[in-house]
Amino acid sequence: MTEGRRKVVIVPCSGIGKPFGTVAREAAYDLVEDLRPDATILVALSKLVLGDEEARAIVASHPVVTIDGCKLNCAAKMVKESGGTPSREVAVLEVFRQHKDLKPEGIAQLNPAGSRLARVLAEGLLPAIDALAAAAKEDDHA
């Protein structure tokens, strides 16, 4: 990865056609593009499903945060099947239960409440990502 340090890998749900899956992906984009671009990298769930060797190697050798949109937990399960171990697993439904006023609607484009739920989810992951990134940095220097 960049500058010889391992980044925290974000693997979101790919629940296409479902608002909670869209929230998972939007939260992942918030993390890797806006909130922690220097500390995170996105790995698409589809690459793991298809057995992409590079994606499998990345999840096996980096700290991983999964974001699942439903109870099937496909992102977490696929990371495990690909040789990785999620350091943190988050479910959109659990975050929604704490923020019922932020009901996501829409698929291709989330409503404002859904976008806010994605941001709340992403911001809630920041302490874990910062801790994982710091630990990875220490491991790189060990």
Please state, as a whole number, how many other Cβ atoms lie within 10 Å of the Cβ of residue 29: 16
Residue 140 confidence class, pLDDT cut points 50, 70, 90: low
Domains in the chain with CATH codes: 2-133 (3.40.50)
Q: What value does the mean pLDDT of the chain take?
A: 92
Angle, vertex CA 79, rays to CA 68 and CA 30, nearest 5: 45
pLDDT tens by residue, 29-56? 999 999 999 999 999 999 999 999 999 9
Q: How confident is the model at residue 57, as a pLDDT?
A: 96
- The order of strands in the sheet holding 40-42 is 40-42, 8-12, 64-68, 86-91
In angstroms, the CA 21 to CA 11 distance is: 12
The average pLDDT across 67-89 equals 96
Residue that has been written with the tokens 């974000």 in this structure: 10
